[in-house]
């Protein structure tokens, strides 16, 4: 157990540092520190998501009995991935710190104190940080110890929730570098909307449906047939997903309606908009709303 935890503790921060170094020093790139940090953090999140989704697919397709069947990869990947959530809190703060500088939120001669930036980060990203803390302090012991080896199928399906993460990360990068007008951003936004809804919002209703079919009971009776802890855990995990999905929907609506309105503007008005302090909608958010945008790993 300790060796797997140690491997994860080395792999994710090490991959972040290696990626940052390559982006800063690779011939033809030589990105700034801030750019390298932001892109490297998104890259590590995407790689973790691909690994988790792959593990989830292997586990879910290997379990015929969704309650009793076990797969060695379930507990192994949970142990390996736990350090990622600790690392990611730090990585998100580093992204936030450099975004302040990139977006001009700091005066070059009067930089924002680290303590003030940390407080602002925790306030802005409270829900995401809380999500990560709960994953380590609650979901980890529940998944490894409280389950007592049962329900590996459900754990594997929950890993598949990470399928939406690569498109979320790509969207963040495109927004950061003002590529909201590109076809790639629009296609990625549609993909993010679909994968997030299927893999995160519909996830828990599907788990209840799968158990109902296994136990031969109606779907509406499942909440009354499982331990109350399962219902509470599902509700607490699903609530932020629904909230984040609502933000994604609002962003998608503003992206496409804003693009249509921009095409209808006369040349002078359009130039005024493009040249104003408010940049074009980023994934549906205005410049002010992007400051309040929430990461959804």
Q: Is residue 290 part of a domain?
A: no
pLDDT band for 295, please (50, 70, 90 cuts): low
Summarised one tens digit per residue, pLDDT across range 20-78 is 999 888 777 778 888 889 999 999 999 999 999 999 999 999 999 999 999 999 999 99
The residues that bridge with 285 in the sheet, in sequence order, are: 282
Neighbours of 215 (CB within 10 A): 14
- Under DSSP, is residue 107 helix (H, G, I), strand (E, B) or coil? strand
For the ranges 9-13, 103-107, 274-278, which has the lowest average pLDDT?
274-278
Domain count, the chain: 1
For the ranges 19-33, 158-172, 195-209, which has the lowest average pLDDT?
19-33
Strand runs labelled E in the chain: none
For tokens 């609502």, what's the residue?
A: 246
Summarised one tens digit per residue, pLDDT across range 69-120 is 999 999 999 999 999 999 999 999 998 888 877 655 444 445 567 778 888 8
Q: Is residue 94 part of a domain?
A: yes
Say how far apart CA 297 and CA 284 lie, in whole Å: 19
For tokens 């998104």, what's the residue?
A: 42
Q: Is residue 124 part of a domain?
A: yes
Summarised one tens digit per residue, pLDDT across range 243-269 is 999 988 888 787 777 654 544 444 444
* DSSP secondary structure letter of residue 182: S
Q: Is residue 226 part of a domain?
A: yes
pLDDT at 198: 94
Q: Is residue 293 part of a domain?
A: no
Res 163 pLDDT > 60: yes
Res 287 pLDDT > 80: no
Q: Is residue 282 part of a domain?
A: no
Q: Is residue 36 part of a domain?
A: yes
Is-contact 165 45, C-beta < 8 A? yes
pLDDT at 99: 81
Give Cα separations from 256 to 23, 50, 187, 188, 266 (angstroms).
32, 29, 11, 13, 18
- Under DSSP, is residue 123 helix (H, G, I), strand (E, B) or coil? helix
- Report the predicted TM-score, pTM, of the whole model to 2 decimal places: 0.80
Q: Is residue 288 part of a domain?
A: no
pLDDT band for 6, please (50, 70, 90 cuts): very high
pLDDT at 103: 57
Residue 54's domain comprises 2-275
pLDDT band for 275, please (50, 70, 90 cuts): very low
- Under DSSP, is residue 70 helix (H, G, I), strand (E, B) or coil? coil
**For all residues of the chain together, what is the average pLDDT?**
82
Longest Cα–Cα distance in the chain = 68
């Amino acid at each position: 157990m300790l060796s797997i935890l140690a491997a994860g503790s080395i792999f994710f921060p090490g991959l972040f540092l290696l990626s940052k170094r390559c982006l800063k020093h690779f011939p033809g790139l030589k990105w700034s520190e801030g750019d390298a940090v932001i892109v490297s953090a998104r890259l590590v999140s995407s790689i973790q998501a691909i690994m988790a989704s792959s593990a989830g697919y292997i586990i879910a397709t290997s379990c015929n009995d969704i309650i009793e069947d076990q797969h060695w990869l379930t507990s192994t990947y949970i142990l390996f991935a736990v350090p990622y959530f600790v690392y990611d809190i730090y990585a998100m703060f580093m992204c936030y710190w450099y975004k302040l500088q990139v977006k001009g939120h700091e005066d070059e001669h009067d930089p924002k104190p680290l303590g003030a930036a940390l407080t602002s980060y925790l306030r802005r990203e409270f829900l995401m940080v809380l999500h990560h803390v709960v994953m380590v302090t609650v979901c980890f012991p529940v998944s490894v110890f409280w389950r007592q080896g049962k329900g590996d199928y459900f754990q594997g399906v929950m890993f598949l929730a990470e399928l939406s993460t690569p498109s979320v990360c790509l969207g963040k990068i495109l927004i950061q570098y003002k590529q909201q007008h590109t076809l790639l951003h629009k296609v990625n936004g549609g993909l993010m909307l679909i994968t997030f809804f299927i893999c995160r919002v519909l996830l828990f209703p599907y788990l209840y449906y799968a158990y109902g079919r296994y136990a031969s009971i109606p779907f509406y009776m499942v909440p009354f047939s499982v331990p109350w802890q399962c219902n509470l855990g599902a509700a607490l995990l699903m609530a932020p997903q629904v909230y984040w999905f609502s933000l994604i929907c609002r962003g998608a609506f503003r992206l496409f309606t804003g693009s249509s309105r921009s095409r209808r503007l006369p040349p002078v008005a359009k130039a005024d908009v493009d040249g104003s302090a408010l940049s074009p909608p980023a994934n549906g958010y205005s410049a002010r709303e992007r400051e309040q945008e929430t990461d959804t790993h």
